[in-house]
Amino acid sequence: MTDRLTAAATQAALDRWLLTEAAARDRSDHTVTAYRGDVTAFLHFIGAHWGEAVAPAALVRLRQTDMRAFAASERGRGLGARSLARRMSGVRSFLRWISDREGLDLSAALSTRSAKYARSLPRPLTQDQARDTLERVADHGTPWMGARDVAVLTLLWGSGLRISEALALNGTDWPFAEGLVIRGKGGRERQVPVLPVARDAVARYLDLSPWGHRTDAPLFRGVRGGRLSAGTVEAAMRQARAALGLPASATPHALRHSFATHLLSAGGDLRTIQELLGHASLSTTQVYTGVDDARLMAVYRNAHPRG
């Protein structure tokens, strides 16, 4: 989106900031790409708004009205409240960085209030729904593919992995010990437990797989032998939930939510669950307390004689 509305010096500053974020703050490639899109969209809008290319020194002209105009424009394009909040956070991070680096007073823009949004609660599967889903996924026309998809989904439910983390496993990671070291978002490493049922599921998949087990290949492989894609697992989950009459929220990621909520319901410690999920902040994990509270209230309303 870089064009005549973004001065070369501003683009160069953006590139330097992104390098800093990646190196000093260990941001993931996905986060850096998102930040680039956020700030580029902002600079493009401001350039069009002012009718001139936005040079670094010109940023001191930014006012709350400019920030609000950008936010209104993004909402008008259909950007959701949560996505807008993330976009504005990226823009403010860049403005704070360039303010410090260039000695610019950007306090007027930085004082703009963050966009508010109601964080939606995760929608986990119940234990019965999760079991039924795995049984349905196993019922595949090609047995080794069904076993493979079950193994992946069992790791999501049993170890709280993100689907990207499960699919990133390589042949060198097998056989699993009782714990598995996972490199997650932001390059953060954590150790997660691997239940016997998950080890058995992976072992069954490897026994049936035409590719077998090789240390120089991905652990989970597609029909042509390459690394299994998330889309393939998501498709298997879509077919299972349609057959079982589950809502659209029953995705592979919902099994990770199920891991957290089932642990919490059984008395799991929130800090421990944070570590197992690989959340950088406890506030991210605390959303699961809302899920558990909602479940408890539903039980109360259904069970109490005055409910």
Which is catalytic among the residues 136, 162, 241, 262?
162
In this prediction, residue 37 carries a pLDDT of 94
Above 60 in pLDDT, residue 291?
Answer: no
- Give residues with Cβ within 8 angstroms of 175, minimum separation 6: 199, 203
82 catalytically annotated: no
302 or 258: which carries more pLDDT confidence? 258
Which is catalytic among the residues 27, 136, 204, 288?
288
Q: What's the CATH code, domain 8-110?
A: 1.10.150
Above 50 in pLDDT, residue 299?
Answer: no
Which is catalytic among the residues 87, 148, 257, 279?
279
Above 50 in pLDDT, residue 122?
Answer: yes
Which is catalytic among the residues 185, 214, 227, 295?
185
Highest mean pLDDT among 18-27, 174-183, 188-197, 205-214: 205-214
Which is catalytic among the residues 199, 253, 257, 262?
253
Instruction: Give the lowest-confidence range in 78-82, 176-180, 265-269, 303-307.
Output: 303-307
In this prediction, residue 296 carries a pLDDT of 46
253 catalytically annotated: yes
Over the chain, what is the mean pLDDT?
83
86 catalytically annotated: no
In this prediction, residue 181 carries a pLDDT of 83
Which is catalytic among the residues 148, 256, 257, 262?
256
Above 70 in pLDDT, residue 245?
Answer: yes
Q: Which of 203, 220, 206 has its CA nearest to residue 166?
A: 220
The pLDDT confidence band at residue 86, using thresholds 50, 70 and 90, is confident
Q: Which of 14, 12, 143 has its CA nearest to residue 90?
A: 14
Whether 86 and 42 have beta carbons less than 8 Å apart is answered as no
114-147: b (≥16 Cβ within 10 Å) or e: ebeeeeebbbbbeeebbebbbebbbebeeebbbb
- Give the mean model confidence (pLDDT) for residues 221-244: 95
Cα distance between residue 96 and residue 90, in whole Å: 10
For residue 251, is it left (φ>0), alpha (ψ between -120 and 50) or beta? beta
In CATH terms, the fold of domain 127-302 is hpI Integrase; Chain A (1.10.443)
Cα distance between residue 25 and residue 49, in whole Å: 32
Bridge partners (DSSP) listed for residue 114: none
213 catalytically annotated: no
pTM of the model: 0.60
Cα distance between residue 143 and residue 294, in whole Å: 38
Backbone angles phi, psi at 73, to 5 degrees: -65, -45
Enumerate the domain spans of the chain: 8-110, 127-302
DSSP string, 206-225: HHH-TT---TTSBSSB-TTS
30 catalytically annotated: no
117 catalytically annotated: no
